[in-house]
Structure 1
Amino acid sequence: MAWYAFASAMFWLIVGATVALAVGTRDTLIGLALSVVAYSVFGRLLSRHAARTGISSALFSRALFGYLGAAVAPLIVGATALYYAVFEGSVVAEVFHQYTGWGNIQIWYLIVAAYSIPIVIGGVRTWLDKLNGFLLPFYYVGLIVAVVWAIAVNGYSNDWLTAGPVDPQVNLHAPGWVFAFSVYMGVWIMQPFTWDYARLAKTADATFHKWLTFGPLFYTLTLAVNAIVGIFLAHSLTAGTTLTELSAVQAIVGLTGIFGVALVWVSQTRINTANYYLASINAESFFARVFRIRLPRRIWVVLVGIAVFALMLTNAISYLLKALQWQGVVVVAWVAIALVYLAFARRDRRRSEDFEFRPGRVPAFNMVGLGAWLTASVIGIVMVEFGGAFGATWAPPAAFLVAGALYTAGRFATGERYVLLSRPNDPRMEVDDPWEARVECATCERSYIAQEMDRNPATPDHAPICGECGSNDNAYLAAAYEEARTSAAAGPAVASRRTPEAKA
């Protein structure tokens, strides 16, 4: 239910309606159907591996880009979630300001940001799950009532089903359904979002999750149902006006009054629980890795709320939209590389549980992954900035194909040279079950499962060290890289005798 918060964003209604105005209803529905399939397939793949590893998308990115190279991934994911929080929070503030006529908009910005913070401080499996589960029916009941209300007031016509583009003369440099599919590719940020939620799932529930939580049911409701309602309401409520997220929402509120206000509050509050959560966990990861600033997630939630309020005050919709376009192609390239990595892991029969993320077991920079990501992202951004209508349509597909092709070629050429550091003395190999056995870190004197532990070659006895302490220990990192260069061990891990430090 915490994940299903994404299903109730007004954003999805407006995306569907906007695409339909550009290419017509028929092509929009074709592009939607293809998008539901693509999102569902990728969601099933990523959620399965995320649940098996239990690691975040930021840690998974270490396997793609290296220990330091992966620092960009949480920045992109967190910034995108932050920007969406600004959008959705602004909508709530504008609606309350319009409906009540009280105060100025800055006060409502502050109220919305302030009430969002305590909602998100609780855990995903408890508070957010229960809150979103409680609010979900209200959202869909609200959509049904809004549609029925619109029909009662304006009557019903099938014209919206056969409507063509508003301006048929605009050259999109592709069939309409390709343009529609490309627009939804720009929101593939849902894939790393999927990873960050699915890592909390139980592996025993994999079948349920791949069909209902992160698969076809979720994306049918999120993409298709919302888009269809958005297309209908756009033709019924906003005829003759420029369609924006705010204009459509204002039309709903103008039609249904306090009921519309309640619908907007439910939808935007639900989606912002997800936005604040993802922004906070990725900010925590980014600042810990890059600046070594370590704060509890609750503090990061507060800081995210402050950042959301500050961005609302700048009225930054125009440049945020441009930033989201740039991030769209960057994320599409990330998805392509992640899928190719998983394909190679399947070819090599590498279990998801064995994915490597420990700082001393992955290179600082994975030049194959980083090169593919950077090249594809630059090409996509250049197409967005200078390619006009052609670039807007083809930038996401181009970034996806370039990233996938370059990473595939690089992996065939280099094998796992830039994926894993081949070092001996691996605690995972010293215990019967690395997911159950506990090993005490010699630095912080806390015990963690062997799956997270390494041995520190900078110490005479190769003392055990946890991932957190290893991230802060430059001597350990330098010694690990040197050991990898000089070690004659074959493979990423070398089995050794169990030692007394491994405590079941």
Structure 2
Amino acid sequence: MPRLSLMMGWWSLVSAMFYLYIAALVASIVGVRDALIGIVLTVVVYGVINKVLAGLAIDTGSTVEALSRVMFGRVGSLLATAVFAATALYYGIFEGSIIAVTFEAWTRESLGWSINVWYFIVVAYSTPLVFGGVRNWLDKLNGILLPLYIVGLAAAVVVAAVVGQPSGWTATGPAAPIAVSQGGPGWLLAFGIYMGVWILMMYTVDFARLGRPEDRRFHTTVTFGWVFYTCVFLVNGLIGIFLAHALREQVGTTVSEGGVAVALTQVMGFWAVLLVWISQTRINTANYYLASTNLEALGRHALRLRLPRVVWVLVGSLIMFVVMLTNVFSYILTALSWQGVLVTGWVAIALTHVALQRRKTTAVEADAETSALVSLPGVIAWVTASVVGLGLLEAGPAWSGTWGPILTAAVAAALYAGLQPLARRPATRASTASSRVPA
């Protein structure tokens, strides 16, 4: 894809209300100062990791599914594809629910429609948007909506400053330090919370593979690199902290993603509804696209079904709608936390694999075709790290939010590197051919 087309398709992720919400939530826990330190550290780490993964994807054209086959084997890779598909579905459900909640709140007195009706409407209009895939017109749609989102967000800041209570927003957070109870400084806890969104690393691979080799430097720096994450986490984070504080009477005592959207609707009316629709529609194009491509890969390898991607878009949309009918906000954050542990381990193993790879990176696809049924180093490392992460998550020690994600990544990387002698090396074409020659 041309560089700006791919950039516009990927930068749909900039506009999620989730990034406003998570920064405000973190600031309410650790304070604005530590939250910003954690966010800046997050931008740096995300920029470095995605520079590596985006470069690999551009060089090889590899997908998450192909890379997972190399690291975990043909059977082990199915779990990675399933986790990726489920996470994309959950984010699609989460972000789509925000649109539905906002529309329901805005029309409650005039229409009085059930929230389930709005769930259906959101899924029904979102589904056709990704029939053509990111190559066709998602870049154009998101290119048009991006400036509208920027203008709308700027207007929200101005309105909140005028009608809200913005004074003292930089002092948001607890009155006392939390370092002792959380096992470390507040900024490290903030960094650990943002590690729960490492699914963006997997997103990066499946998008960056569409990039041209001559655009590698631009994509690894701007499209998928530190420039992108500065806008996603730092700029959105500052705005989210400000809005949650200035509109605290409308948001309530507990910061929630739906609460921020509804609070904006109360003070901006139709324009807030338009802003929420633009922001959530943009990011859901990426969620629906990645959910469908990974469902397609899962169906092809696990069920031996070779169906058009349009069918998998419809399957994914049906799953999203059914899950939306439940009380999605009551458990979806727990589900995402579990998947966040699995994704953190995957990313750590992927980075270790790239660091240990001595042959040309273009061998990824060839290695995927000749991969073992199960690759012990990858499977053992991922399972062990996941058990550690999920155990800490469920045991609930005060310091698990700070050290849990870090320990998960460290265990996964160390085990994968240490267990490499157990790996079965893929046979090259040359060695395969020579094995057929009589001695």
User: TM > 0.5 between the two?
Assistant: yes
Q: Does 1:258 align with 2:270?
A: yes
Q: Match of 1:353, SS?
A: helix
For 2:293 and 2:279, the matched residues in 1 are separated by: 22
Query: How far apart, in 2, do the equivalents of 1:388 and 1:370 lie?
Result: 27
Is the Cα–Cα contact under 8 Å of residues 17 and 231 in structure 1 kept in the other structure?
yes
Q: Equivalent residue for 1:421?
A: 426
Give the aligned partner of residue 153 of structure 2. 143
Q: Deviations over 1:100-152 (max 9, x none)?
A: 12211111110000000001111212211110111011111111110011112
Instruction: Say whether the 8 Å CA contact 1:120–1:301 is kept in structure 2.
Output: yes
1:384-415 Cα shifts (integer Å, max 9, x gaps): 0013322233211110000001111112x34x
Instruction: Report the secondary structure of 2:331's partner residue.
Output: helix
User: Which residue identity is paired with 2:187?
Assistant: W
Sort the Cα spacing of 1:40 and 1:496 in 2 relative to 1 into closer, same or farther, 3 A.
farther
Contact residue 62 and residue 357 of structure 1 kept, 8 A: no
Of 63, 66, 70, the match for 2:70: 63
Number of residue pairs the alignment of both structures matches: 424
Query: Looking at both structures, which has the greater relative contact order when contacts are Cα pairs under 8 Å and sequence separation is at least 6?
Result: 2
Matched-pair contact (CA < 8 Å) for 1:24–1:164: yes
CA distance change for structure 1 residues 184 and 268 in 2, over 3 Å: closer, same or farther? same
- 1:42 is aligned, of 24, 29, 49, to 49
1:5 aligns with 2:18: no
Matched, 1:391 2:400: yes
1:81-120 map, 5 Å: 81-101=88-108, 102=111, 103-120=113-130
Q: Distance in 1 between matches of 2:435 and 2:231?
A: 48
Mapping 1:222-371, distance limit 5 Å:
222-239=232-249, 240-345=252-357, 348=358, 350-357=359-366, 361-371=370-380
Which segment is superposed worse, 136-145 or 18-27?
136-145
Q: Deviations over 1:173-211 (max 9, x none)?
A: 221000000000010000010000001111110011011
Residue 470 (structure 1) aligns with: none
Aligned-partner Cα distance in 2 for 1:68–1:217: 36
Q: Which runs of 5+ in 1 are unaligned?
A: 430-488, 498-504
TM-score (structure 2 length as normaliser): 0.93
* 2:66 and 2:364 in contact (8 A); partners too: no
CA distance in 1, matches of 2:374, 2:383: 13
- Residues in 2 aligned to 1:190 and 1:374: alpha-carbon distance in whole angstroms: 21
108-117 vs 235-244, greater mean Cα deviation: 235-244
Deviation at 1:8, TM superposition (A): 0.5
Question: Following superposition of structure 1 onto structure 2, how do residues 124-163 of structure 1 map, counting pairs within 5 Å?
Answer: 124-154=134-164, 156-157=166-167, 159-163=168-172
Partner Cα distance (2:370, 2:308) in 1: 26
Task: Quote the Cα distance in structure 2 between the aligned partners of 1:357 and 1:298.
Answer: 28
Q: Deviations over 1:63-82 (max 9, x none)?
A: 11011211111100110010
Change (3 A) 1:270 1:494: farther
Are 1:12 and 1:227, in contact at CA under 8 Å, matched by a contact in 2?
A: yes
Give the C-alpha shift of residue 167 in structure 1: 6.9
Q: What CA distance in whole angstroms lies between the structure 2 residues aligned with 1:94 and 1:105?
A: 7
Cα distance in 2 for partners of 1:227, 1:83 equals: 22
Shift of 1:358: 5.6
| Aligned positions of 1:22-33 closer than 5 A | 22-33=29-40
The question of whether the paired residues in 1 share the 8 Å contact of 2:133 and 2:289 is answered with no
- Calculate percent identity across the aligned residue pairs: 46
Contact 1:238 1:247 in 2 (8 A): no
Q: Distance in 1 between matches of 2:366 and 2:292?
A: 21
Which stretch shows the higher mean deviation, 311-320 or 106-115?
A: 311-320
In structure 1, give the amino acid aligned to 2:247.
L
Deviations 1:340-390 (A, max 9, x none): 100011xx2x22112245665111100011100000001100100013322
Q: Is the 8 A contact 1:92 1:265 kept in 2?
A: yes
CA contact (8 A) 1:46 1:195 kept: yes
1:22 and 1:166 in contact (8 A); partners too = no
Structure 2 Cα separation of the partners of residues 117 and 166 of structure 1: 46
> What SS does the corresponding residue of 2:372 show, helix, strand or coil?
coil
C-alpha distance in structure 2 between counterparts of 1:5 and 1:394, whole Å:
31
8 Å CA contact retained: 2:66, 2:368: no
CA deviation digits over 1:151-188, x for unaligned, max 9? 1223642x222333267569222210000000000100
**CA distance in structure 2 between the aligned counterparts of 1:359 and 1:231, rounded to whole angstroms:** 44
State whether structure 2 residue 388 is matched by structure 1 residue 379. Answer: yes
Matches within 5 A, 1:480-495: 489=431
CA contact (8 A) 1:21 1:166 kept: no
1:318/1:494 Cα in 2 relative to 1: closer, same or farther (>3 Å)? farther
How far off is 1:319 after superposition?
Answer: 2.4
Q: Which amino acid aligns with 2:427?
A: S
User: Quick check: 1:383–1:395 contact (8 Å CA) kept in 2?
Assistant: yes
Displacement of 1:214: 0.3
Superposed CA RMSD: 1.9
The amino acid that maps onto 2:235 is V
Letter paired with 1:202:
R
Q: Which is helix-richer, 1 or 2? A: 2
**SS class of match (2:426):** coil
Match of 1:177 in 2: 187
CA distance in 2, matches of 1:167, 1:288: 54
Which residue identity lines up with residue 421 of structure 1 in the other structure?
Answer: P
Query: Unpaired runs of 5+ in structure 2?
Result: 1-7
CA distance in 1 between counterparts of 2:120 and 2:320 reads 9
